[in-house]
Amino acid sequence: MVRKLTIYHVLEPFLSRPYDKLHLADISREIKEPHPTVRQWLNALENKGVLIKGHQGRLTLYFLNLENPNIIDHLAISEKNKLIKECEKLVVLGELIGYIHKTLNENAKALIFGSAAQSFNAANDVDLLIAGKTDTKSIQGFAKRLNKEIHIIQVSNLEKVSRALKNEIIKKHLLINGSEDFVRWMIWQQMR
């Protein structure tokens, strides 16, 4: 089971660049894993039809197979794996995420984006997007106890998010709740 979840670690670079073709060395460097291990994971995901391998000159490049009927599920697992790893590294982030999970209304979706998604400790504040109804004052109060100012952008649904904000979110994000909906929105957002 651990091996099957670990393989999704190799998809993390694609989460911020779903349309890019990435080279083994770039993926390996970004996820800080050795080339042979990364190559095995990439080949396994290619065999499952999650990734497509292509060539540009002598370079071998990998890109997401957006035609795979389960691509959303594979990427949502990778997103959750990324969130869990970040929360295990930083207890404070884990506490904030746990509180947000408890506070969100049933159908609300939430994600952290911007500098806090990239380096929570180094960030001066936390940018949080919430799609749906939720008590934002409670979340802001909890964040103050963690000595982090939180900026909440609340929209009724993801369609209300501007294109510029969508592009920023795609580059740096940690999905908290509603992973499959967010992944679907991020992958196909540029096609609209």
What pLDDT does 147 receive? 85
Residue 95 in contact with residue 127, Cβ under 8 Å?
A: no
Query: Is pLDDT at 189 greater than 70 in this prediction?
Result: no
Q: At 90, which amino acid appears?
A: L
Q: What is the DSSP letter of 119?
A: -
pTM tops 0.85, yes or no: yes
Mean pLDDT of 163-168: 93
Domains parsed from the chain with CATH numbers:
2-64 (1.10.10.10), 71-191 (3.30.460.10)
Mean pLDDT of 7-26: 93
Q: Which of helix, strand or coil describes residue 48? A: coil
Query: Is pLDDT at 133 greater than 50 in this prediction?
Result: yes
Q: Please, is 147 exposed, middle or buried when counting C-beta atoms within 10 Å of its C-beta (0-12, 13-18, 19+)? A: exposed
Residue 165 in contact with residue 173, Cβ under 8 Å?
A: no
